Amino acid sequence: MMPRFHLEDFSMLEKAPTSAATLRSKLGEMLISSTSARVQIESVNPQTGEYRIVLHGTLDIEKTPFDMT
């Protein structure tokens, strides 16, 4: 069973440097803990491989712990 995404995990997502493996794991937890999700591609640079995406979604609050103390 995959760990659930917690609301306090959002702050970890912006901390740098974050390894690709850690980011992949946390994003996977967030998507699995969501009732809906979609992605918006803001930009892709074919010369450098740089990209910018925006995720939009709704966490399943009933199943996702949200202890913000």
Q: Is the pLDDT of residue 32 over 70?
A: yes
- What is the Rg, in whole angstroms, of the alpha carbon atoms belonging to the chain? 14
Q: Is the pLDDT of residue 66 over 60?
A: no
Q: Which two tokens stand for residue 37?
A: 């999700």
pLDDT at position 2: 62
d(CA 15, CA 37): 22
Mean pLDDT of the chain: 85
pLDDT at position 6: 82
Which single residue is written with the structure tokens 């659930």?
Answer: 4
Q: Which two tokens stand for residue 3?
A: 């760990």
